[in-house]
Amino acid sequence: MTKSVRTLRILRIASGFAAFLYLIFGLLLEPVLGVDDLIPLTHRLLFAAAFGGLVILSYIISFVQKHMGILFYTLAVGAIVNLIFMGVQEGYDAGAIVALLLVIPVMNFLFYRWKALLYANILLLLGVIGSFIISSPSPLNLLLFIVSSIAISGASFWGARRLLSTEQRAEKSEKLYTNLFYNSLEGIALHEMILDDKGKPVDYIFLEANPAFEAHTGLRLKDVLGKRATEVFPCKECISFIEAYGTVVQTEQSVVFEQFSEFLQRFYRVAAYPLGEKQFVAVFEDITERKKVEKQTLYLSFHDQLTGLYNRRFYEEELKRTDVPRNLPISIIMADLDDLKLTNDTFGHQAGDELLKALANVLKNVCRKDEIVARIGGDEFVILLPKTGSQGAEKLVERIKSEISKNEVSGVNLSVSFGWHTKNMENELFENVFKQAEDMMYHQKNPGRNSH
């Protein structure tokens, strides 16, 4: 039951109750209870009739509204019958014929949704032609009248049915899009772009949105519909959306982009489509969880799971970006955790893992953010130093050794061997630089090596 129907029902009940009260008090006060009635009986009857008339009138209006089509259809058929009767009684003249042939197409186009319209056309045509024959026209006039009647009736009926078919398709399409809009799992919002005097996009208005829009954004429709974006979001965040949507409106080309909302703390995939007249539709998909998974996957693909340092894959990719002339000189430091296999065999792999993590923490704490620290093997680590000469690499090694001397794991001191080398010339192969640093490191692992 709609709100208007409920209101009408309440008004009917109230009016009927008021009429009842006016009548019942007039009948009971003086005759039954012996109390003088201050309101004359005629006034009571008048007001009771007025309230009762409102109730009856409301039912009449409802009936007319509900059966408006039947009433007008009856009037149209009556008009045609009246014209036929007049033609039979007084003979057809040009005015009567024209009027009759105009009423038929008017009826067809007014009531083209009626399934019985075809039968009505056939019956009316038979009546019209039959009445015209009674008026004894000439054979030529009879032929012209019959052909004209059939042509006008048939053409108007066909046109009316075509109109109905077009409306039905439009209604079906509208219903389909309405269902898609309101039942879509993706958030959909209809906007209108606001342009300044120079035609530059400066804001946009929320015209309509579906329930999924609330679910994806956390914004309530009643708080955003009819408002400008700058009234809903912080101005800084609006700029990127206005620029993207402005491109859609001005170029009339669709765009798809991903955007992080600082205000909503969510990632969105947005597809925007132009509708013309500065309007466009935006389809939202909350991809926050997907982005978290992608970020985690990317992190794991470039980091060593045990130590949290970069892995060999990242080191090799970073080396390609770093090994360019503008970064010369480029130094590399190699570090090898001594006796890791012995520790694993004696104390277990967990003890060895603790030593690796302790060394990784030292390297992370001593090295700067622009110095690439990676674990490239079981016990091997590298530090890539762009724009750093051999002397700078040696000083960094000394700082690392000093920090290592302060650390021990379960009573065991860290023992690490180092090697380093520097690429100074552009034509020097980095593979050779790596090999010389590695040779230096393995030389330290020999008896008498300088290690901690």
Q: What confidence category does residue 449 fall into, taking pLDDT thresholds of 50, 70 and 90?
A: very low
- Does residue 451 form part of some domain? no
Strand partners, 164: none
- Asked if residue 333 and residue 440 are part of one domain, the reply reads yes
- Asked if residue 157 and residue 207 are part of one domain, the reply reads no
Return the pLDDT at 204.
92
Q: What confidence category does residue 434 fall into, taking pLDDT thresholds of 50, 70 and 90?
A: very high
- Does residue 222 form part of some domain? yes
Per-residue tokens: 267: 């990632």
* Structural domain count of the chain: 4
- Asked if residue 271 and residue 220 are part of one domain, the reply reads yes
Last residue of a domain, one of 136, 163, 179: 179
Q: 421, 390 in Cβ contact below 8 A?
A: yes
Host domain of residue 379: 303-444
* Angle, CA 243 vertex, CA 237 and CA 247 arms, to 5°: 155
CA distances from 248 to 232, 258, 449 (A): 21, 15, 68
Last residue of a domain, one of 32, 49, 66: 66
- Asked if residue 133 and residue 45 are part of one domain, the reply reads no
- Asked if residue 277 and residue 223 are part of one domain, the reply reads yes
> For the ranges 37-46, 358-367, 391-400, 412-421, which has the lowest average pLDDT?
37-46
Write down the residue that tokens 């009948």 correspond to.
Answer: 27
- Asked if residue 175 and residue 163 are part of one domain, the reply reads yes
The pLDDT tens digits of the residues spanning 27-61 come to 666 666 666 666 676 777 777 787 777 778 777 77
Last residue of a domain, one of 41, 66, 91: 66
Backbone angles phi, psi at 421, to 5 degrees: -160, 160
Segment 3-20 shows an average pLDDT of 69
- Asked if residue 423 and residue 321 are part of one domain, the reply reads yes
- Does residue 119 form part of some domain? yes
> For the ranges 55-59, 181-185, 309-313, which has the lowest average pLDDT?
55-59
Measure the N-to-C terminal CA separation of the chain; round to a whole number of Å.
86
Averaged confidence pLDDT in the chain: 80
Pairing of strands 416-423, 330-337: antiparallel
- Does residue 295 form part of some domain? no
Name the burial class of residue 244, with classes exposed (0-12), middle (13-18) and buried (19+) by CB atoms within 10 angstroms of its CB.
Answer: middle
Return the pLDDT at 235.
72
Q: 323, 310 in Cβ contact below 8 A?
A: no
Return the pLDDT at 344.
85
Q: What confidence category does residue 448 fall into, taking pLDDT thresholds of 50, 70 and 90?
A: very low
- Asked if residue 398 and residue 352 are part of one domain, the reply reads yes
- Asked if residue 207 and residue 130 are part of one domain, the reply reads no
CATH number at residue 248: 3.30.450.20
Residues 6+ apart with CB under 8 A from 96: 83, 86, 87
- Does residue 297 form part of some domain? no
Bigger pLDDT: 41 vs 171:
171
| C-alpha closest to that of 417 among 336, 356, 332 | 336
Q: 369, 407 in Cβ contact below 8 A?
A: no
Q: 354, 400 in Cβ contact below 8 A?
A: no
- Does residue 387 form part of some domain? yes
Q: What confidence category does residue 82 fall into, taking pLDDT thresholds of 50, 70 and 90?
A: low
Complete edge-to-edge strand list for the sheet that includes strand 187-195: 201-209, 187-195, 279-286, 266-276, 255-261
CATH number at residue 346: 3.30.70.270
Per mean pLDDT, which of 35-44, 53-62, 86-95, 208-217 is the most reliable?
Answer: 208-217
- Asked if residue 165 and residue 100 are part of one domain, the reply reads yes
> For the ranges 119-128, 203-212, 345-354, which has the lowest average pLDDT?
119-128
DSSP string, 166-192: HHHHHHHHHHHHHHHHHH-SSEEEEEE
- Does residue 450 form part of some domain? no
Backbone angles phi, psi at 241, to 5 degrees: -70, -40
Give percent of the chain above pLDDT 70: 73
- Asked if residue 353 and residue 237 are part of one domain, the reply reads no
Helix (H) or strand (E) holding 422: strand 416-423
3-state secondary structure of 257: strand
- DSSP H helices, 234-372, are 235-251, 288-302, 312-322, 340-347, 349-366
The pLDDT tens digits of the residues spanning 124-147 come to 677 667 766 766 666 776 676 677
Q: What confidence category does residue 96 fall into, taking pLDDT thresholds of 50, 70 and 90?
A: low
- Does residue 294 form part of some domain? no
- The DSSP code for 27 is H
- Asked if residue 202 and residue 168 are part of one domain, the reply reads no
Per-residue tokens: 426: 């552009």
> For the ranges 26-35, 347-356, 383-392, 431-440, which has the lowest average pLDDT?
26-35
